[in-house]
């Protein structure tokens, strides 16, 4: 669907309002009417751009992890690069509301959970395949990396567990790096690898 330049500010306002609502009220309690009211537009405009709440949610959590290009990066430096990237993605200059909304919603909403699986399944797996040369265990490695990324995000930014929140970003990166390195390039149990292929 083509949109005029004049529609861009309205769409941006709607998406910003939707992210705030989904973050504060959750998927189930967020309504088209409440988002429209927050954005200062008529509900019919939200419907025109996004058709329904599912379409609005999908647009609000259209996430690019902005994973770094690891071409030419020495293998032993990739895990540290990724650890730093993920911390920046959640709380640094790459942070945005969309990824927090998706994580919070994925806990209770099947559509959000599926979106999260797609984001991490495609983007993280693509990077892992590049690093490993698409070995038979690439999907498992990507899944294990995702458990760590999402686990830290959940405990630090959503549940706000005090010991995890208390870590300064540099310490978090330092602790996070060897875990990612083990899953990215370290040996996996032979029986586990056999089952994944």
The 10s digit of each residue's pLDDT in 16-60 is 999 889 888 888 889 999 999 999 999 999 999 999 998 999 888
As a whole number, mean pLDDT of residues 135-161 equals 94
pLDDT digits (tens, 9 = 90+) for 54-80: 899 988 888 889 999 999 999 999 999
Widest Cα–Cα separation across the chain: 59
Q: Which is higher by pLDDT, 109 or 162?
A: 162
How far, in Å, CA of 3 to CA of 11, rounded? 10
What average pLDDT is seen over the chain?
88
Domains of the chain: 7-60 (1.10.10.60), 75-187 (no CATH)
- Quick one: pLDDT at residue 97? 78
Percent of the chain clearing pLDDT 90 (strictly above): 61
pLDDT over threshold 60, residue 161:
yes
Q: How confident is the model at residue 1 (pLDDT cuts 50, 70, 90)?
A: very low
CA 58-125-78 angle, to 5 degrees, is: 120
How far, in Å, CA of 23 to CA of 19, rounded? 6
CA distances from 71 to 96, 107, 130 (A): 26, 34, 8
As a whole number, mean pLDDT of residues 132-143 equals 93
How far, in Å, CA of 93 to CA of 15, rounded? 20
- Quick one: pLDDT at residue 196? 54
- Quick one: pLDDT at residue 195? 54
pLDDT over threshold 50, residue 2:
no
Q: Please answer whether residues 125 and 142 qualify as being in contact, where contact means their C-beta atoms are separated by less than 8 angstroms.
A: yes
pLDDT over threshold 70, residue 110:
yes
How far, in Å, CA of 181 to CA of 3, rounded? 44
Kindly report whether the global pTM for this prediction surpasses the value 0.95: no
């Amino acid at each position: 669907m083509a949109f005029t330049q004049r529609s861009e500010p309205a769409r941006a306002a709607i998406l910003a309002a939707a992210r705030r609502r989904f973050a504060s009220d959750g998927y189930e309690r967020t309504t088209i009417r409440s988002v429209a009211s927050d954005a200062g537009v008529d509900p019919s405009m939200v419907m025109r751009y996004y058709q329904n709440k599912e379409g609005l949610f999908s647009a609000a959590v259209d996430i690019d992890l902005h994973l770094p290009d690891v071409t030419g990066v020495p293998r032993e430096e990739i895990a540290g690069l990724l650890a730093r990237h993920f911390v920046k993605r959640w709380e640094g200059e790459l942070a945005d509301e969309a990824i927090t909304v998706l994580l919070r919603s994925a806990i209770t909403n099947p559509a959000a959970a599926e979106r999260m699986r797609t984001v991490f399944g495609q983007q993280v797996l693509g990077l892992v395949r590049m690093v490993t040369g698409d070995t038979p265990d690439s999907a498992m490695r990507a899944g294990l990396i995702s458990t760590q990324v999402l686990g830290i995000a959940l405990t630090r930014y959503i549940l706000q567990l005090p010991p995890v929140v208390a870590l300064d970003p540099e310490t978090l990166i330092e602790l996070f790096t060897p875990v990612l390195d083990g899953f990215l390039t370290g040996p996996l149990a032979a029986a586990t690898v056999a089952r994944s292929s």
